[in-house]
Structure 1
């Protein structure tokens, strides 16, 4: 039996918050391993990276999600009692509910709504001077996913709803005011979402039959009971918030087009090249840093002991940059995805494993569709300049984003 390599620090929480996306990978490189143990939030934790690690991590016979995510993440990002923290039959039932609205036609419909609103906004951008892409795309995605999900939204409320989604997304790894803003945003959002669910159930709020709102409000669990009001609110937000978070990927796509301008012509009108480009953006740029689980029952793997109840983190960013999986992983090379077939354990920016039954993000297909639409608009629907600004990504900040949200100016709609 081999001894698992160990990070010798008494507790690595502050180092994790300081180093961010590089925390696990830096220690793996230093220790010459893809597995080590440490302490985070004063609790023993096993950290993993790589394809074999991902395949292990998404084995439901060995791991559970209940109690794995720290409370600060549940009370800001995912909501307490949401699908991300469920296991077994409860998880399969709730995941099936969310996946039922992710049909190919529904995904394309959301993409078209986003596309239409982007093009309709171009004249405003053209007349407004500098535009912060992150802010504007966030509002476009809020408008689009609210409309697609059957959730009423007045134009005047778009900035506030977008700000709530952003606050929840930015809060889990934040300290001080940024974290508390996320908690407040979560409470506010769950209140209005719960009230909306009540109105739908009472027949007082019209919503299309197959919309996210109607599906969540009307869903019955394995015992035939409607979801409790607060849980339904959490799951409704799980159909909205992740879509707004795609604004980060859109910013990363624009950043990649700026840094690698040769790809502007290659993706224009070429769906295969756009697919390669989008997948490389998802692999290369930082999105979720890690995923968390707990050991269901003690087992051995590669000579190491995984004790029952032990928290385990899979390094998503590190797996997407693993040199054993991705040659020259720090290089942006979309052509690596030419002829690529989906590997559920190799490319894991939004989790791995099976979409339908596992803990892989239900909205991954939506992410890809929206990114492709955004790339088409950035290269074919508008011209613009990227003025001098700080475009560096601080990998110690989770989630990462260019400091100014990527400013563009001189926007002109193209015929």
Structure 2
């Protein structure tokens, strides 16, 4: 029995109602049990719970706190769908806390169980809308796929028709070689006779290979076509000169030759090269003339540059030397003393004079000091000559 005149302690309430501690605290937070200022519980609210235990339990279950995972499990849906429905309906969390997990601090929010249960109709509507959207998307995708298949079939027929019209005749030659290499690229097979030309850049061959891929030839068709054309294409490569050989035989670039004769990526048949060398056409003669003119122009420029460098060198040497009179005027001394003070090279270099003017030595400040320096230099030369004569044998 519960005394209605005084508050009831938490342990007595828990024992009387058969609750866990967290359930008692949740009931107090949500108002199912009224808590007095002394932290005890009002006897009337406890008595009401005891009188209707089923209703109390049901109300407590509605107030339970559920995180996103628990809420999704409660509704039988995925967490992503629950979050989408909660955002669409404006469901507001009733509590939250920061939890450290995976080395990070995560914000975990809790929803009221009764509010979560109320989303059942919204969840069903979301499921139906999503299913309808998927059905519409699949229908549209099927329609688009049908249009694409029809268009691809039309492209395949057009490509096969054009491919048949471009099929080379039985004669051997460059076109037969291009047809074989295009078949090799499409089939992904590179037999030895043509392997060296399989990846040579040739625009018509690339276009032909693209057309074959659009025609969607079967593997057996490609194998039969390649087997039929391979022997003649292999013979066409025997007399084929590469771009370096073309340039060496004709003296012009292979790119220029390929503009006027049949070729495969700059590779030209040797008989065609011999015919061009024996009877040069006007365009080849003009190319040779241009080359000779360029060589002559380069030689003239080289000679002019050489002559210009010689003139500049002479002028530079002349400009780098000063006369005795010029040095005397710059230093403010007489020409005679300047002549006696010439450096050991016998010439006044401009750089040396510039250094003298920047850092004036004591002998350059007056005529008397300059003559004294000249006399000192004369005596030093005489002593050097005497020592040199004494060192000579005999």
Q: What interval of TM-score do these two structures reach, taking the shorter chain for normalisation?
A: under 0.3
More strand by share: 1
> Normalising to structure 1: TM-score of the pair?
0.16
Higher RCO structure, 1 or 2 (CA under 8 Å, sep 6+): 1
More helix by share: 2
